[in-house]
Amino acid sequence: MDPTRWQKLQALFDEAVGLEPAARAQWLKTLEESDAPLAAELARLLAADEAAADRQIGGRIQRFAARAADSDELRPGLTVGPYTIDRLLGRGGMGRVYLAHRSDRAYEQQVVIKVVQTGPGERLVRLFERERQILANLTHPNIARLLDGGTLDDRTPYLVMEYVEGTDIVSYCEARGIPLDERLRLFQEVCAAVQYAHAKLVVHRDIKPANVLVDGSGRVRLLDFGIATLLRRHAEPQSLNAGLESAAGEQTLSGALLSPAYASPEQRRGEPVTTASDIYSLGLLLYRLVCGHLVDQDSGRDEVSPTPSALLRQAGHARQARCVAGDLDAVILRALAPDPGQRHATVAEFSAELGRFLEHRPVQSRPAGASHRLGLFARRNPGLSLVVGGSSLLITGFAVAMAWLAVQLGEERDQALAARATTDHVAGFMVELFAAADPRQHLGDPPDARTLLDRGAGQIAELEGPPELSATLLLRMGEAYRHIGASDQANALFSKALKLADLPRELQVDIALEQADLWREIGRLEKAEVRLAELITSLEASSTTPNALASAYNNYALVLDVLERPEQAEAWVRKALAVDLPDSRASRIDRLAFGNNLALALSRQDRHDEAIDLFDRVIGDKIEVFGQRHPSVLLSQQNLADSYRRTGRLEQTVSLLERIRSTNAVIHGEHSLAVAGTDNELANAFHDLRAYEQAEAAYRRAYAFFEQHPQADPSLHAFVTNNLASLFEDQGDLAKAERWFARSVALREALFAPDSLPYLSGLMNRVRVQIQLGRLEQAGRDLTTIEQALAAHHPDQTSRRLQATLLRAEWHAASGQADEARATLATIDPQLVAEQAQNAHFARRLRAVQDVLR
């Protein structure tokens, strides 16, 4: 059967399956008059569906629901628990589905109520209750949530689900012309949700476009786990694909509730359902997303489906077919293997294969020879190529050094031929070293990355060639070390590169800028500030490319931001934006980074409306350049979420951050710096919402990552520790708060100068808690240190000095020195107090000390 006819058959099946038996018979008769063969195929599908239903309990439920439907329909206005029915949405596999709202209007919320017509018998009601408990455990940002549940007056059970407004994933992608890589990243979000459910021992059983929506924010939402099957809770990992049983030997609510076009062969035969069945359905969904066609599963059970690339070529899409041919074909067809044992072992493995494809690394679904691996490297950056014996080779990530070689070889063919042995050596070195892993993309497994990098760093000295080659390799290797948090090794390689003689000026500047930014990241702020000031003076006096000068201005602004000098940071990032850059994609990307940092500087000054407007524009431009799920887009969205939080838009903040976290987990892995950073921001939002339990869980996830990867971002490590301490303080656990503030101070002490604002801020937090605990001697000494440092080094920091003055008044009051406390409070400028109007914590403390002194 050709794909177009199969799609028509699927649409007719979807329409017919919801009809009453008598209406369906008449409908089939009408169809037979116009297309008898198609009507016969449809009748066979419907019969197969009913036959499968006869073999399992779900079929009995479904048939009883059909008989009872007319008499048991819930009318608009009827109340079900705390909800009021609005209208019938349609029939689900186990009953009817309604749109409803909360009756008390305590908050505006529309919900979906699924009423299951179980028929007589308490046993089926008990089974449904067990199913409800299973669903209650599924809390994932890409899964529509179970909100409530219960039974009607006649003991008919119902579920209350989150109402998701969106478009099915296939229509969403087709209507917007979403490119292939974005479709795959969306699909990875589906995989993340299904893998999460499998980890909870739940299979979906009915994965199809109608159950995979993309909401208004671009987030995937997986619907209808109401027909999930409970896996045996004590199954060994290797037995999860071996046929399912329930936890206590009871049957769960499952059966023939499926869509044949997206069902696995074993489902269509009415056999037990496994996680492998979901993998098959995911393969069918991806097949359609990639090539726009459904697999014709009835053309011959043993016949291999045409590859997606073959269908794309038949449709005249040769360019898309070339992208899909080979690796992606192999990944999809493995998911569609008729034998469940030949499919991907887990959904996570399936998603990981797509990740390898997106990163242009060899997939495991297709045996890869040496020429295939080299071809993959060449695809990673089509703008850079190295001529090696007549074939094109590109090595990206760590091997951006090849860019320099490409330019040199392109301009000086004779020199390239003379250095052929050297370039062969370099190419072999890079392919051997990095074919197995790309640690710039993941922080989840640093030992493997470190092993590769350590081996490569030791081999660089063995390469023969000009110093530019060694310096460039050292620079890229240093960047790789930096991305896995090995800052000491990165710094050593940058220093080694800068010591090489006769380097081109532009290369020297690139290395010096990278090292200065590393110093900023690990808290060596004074060194970074001095280095960048020297570079700026030198670059302003030379005719070096303007991109380097703009980057120096921008990086200097970032140092000032960490030093909590946002006004100065704003001025320097505006200088970066004012540089006349050449018209190129690289310059556009630089400008987007500068725009993001300007918005950050505005936000730091509480100019949140300006910041939000600028973040919105930057994010729109980044999506145009990179696509919706690029890490750079997610970073700016996370900054935007912080501005939302600071303006009190907390629900909006949480929603955005949960989506960012989900996408970061797909791209970088659950245990990654990107996810840890988002967890910290998410915890801040929960903290502000006084959702302390959720805040602590998110803070602790972030903290656990930094404990395992202390060099990943030492500054953020210190800030997360401080935030967790603040949470304990707000919960009234002052002893625990003091211990965690002490950890934060120790981390800051290792990073920042003793007179720097980041260090002094952490010290002030500890002093505040020590005063409350009565540890006045230590608090007094530290407070004197703070006051002296602020006066000597930060006279313009009126907000910090106001905080220190309040601390001194609190210290006097706690020490029984009421007159001194009053005198200290009298020195506070009322205008400065007014500027702290939105700082509820400061206002509460000020009132408290004033009340004590009355």
Q: Which residues are catalytic?
A: 206
Q: Which residues of 439-457 are buried (b: 16+ CB within 10 A; e: fewer)?
A: bbbbbbebeebbebbeebb
Sequence-distant (6+) residues with CB within 8 A of 435 are 361, 362, 373
- The three-class DSSP label of residue 341 is helix
First to last CA, the chain: 89
Q: Is the dihedral of CA 390, 465, 480, 579 positive or negative?
A: negative
Token readout for 194 is: 């299904």
163 exposure class (CB count in 10 Å sphere: 0-12, 13-18, 19+) = middle
664 exposure class (CB count in 10 Å sphere: 0-12, 13-18, 19+) = buried
Strands 157-162 and 146-151: antiparallel
732/579 Cα distance (integer angstroms): 51
Name the one residue in this structure whose structure tokens are 């008449």: 26
Written as one letter, the residue type at 132 is R
488 exposure class (CB count in 10 Å sphere: 0-12, 13-18, 19+) = exposed
* Adjacent-strand bridge partners of 79: 84
One DSSP character per residue, 534-596 reads HHHHHHHTS---HHHHHHHHHHHHHHHHHTT-HHHHHHHHHHHHHS---SSHHHHHHHHHHHH
CA 743 from chain centre, in angstroms, equals 29
160/146 Cα distance (integer angstroms): 6
Token readout for 560 is: 């000032």
Angle between helices 608-626 and 631-646 (to 10 degrees): 160
552/546 Cα distance (integer angstroms): 10
Note whether 308 and 332 are within 8 A (CB). Answer: yes
CA 364 from chain centre, in angstroms, equals 24
Phi, psi angles (nearest 5°) of residue 88? -80, 130
546/564 Cα distance (integer angstroms): 27
Q: Which residues of 353-365 are buried (b: 16+ CB within 10 A; e: fewer)?
A: bbbbbbbbbbbbb
One DSSP character per residue, 89-107 reads EEEETTEEEEEEEETT-SS
714/419 Cα distance (integer angstroms): 42
Q: Tell me: is residue 114 an annotated ligand-binding position.
A: yes
162/142 Cα distance (integer angstroms): 12
Distances (CA, A) of 676 to 464, 663, 701, 708, 744: 41, 13, 7, 11, 17
CA 34 from chain centre, in angstroms, equals 50
CA 221 from chain centre, in angstroms, equals 14
Note whether 125 and 115 are within 8 A (CB). Answer: no
Name the one residue in this structure whose structure tokens are 């290792």: 750
Sequence-distant (6+) residues with CB within 8 A of 541 are none
105/354 Cα distance (integer angstroms): 44
Length of the chain: 854
Which DSSP category does 143 fall into?
B
Sequence-distant (6+) residues with CB within 8 A of 502 are 467
Half-sphere exposure of 404 (CA within 13 A, CB side): 20
Q: Which residues are annotated as a binding site for ATP?
A: 114
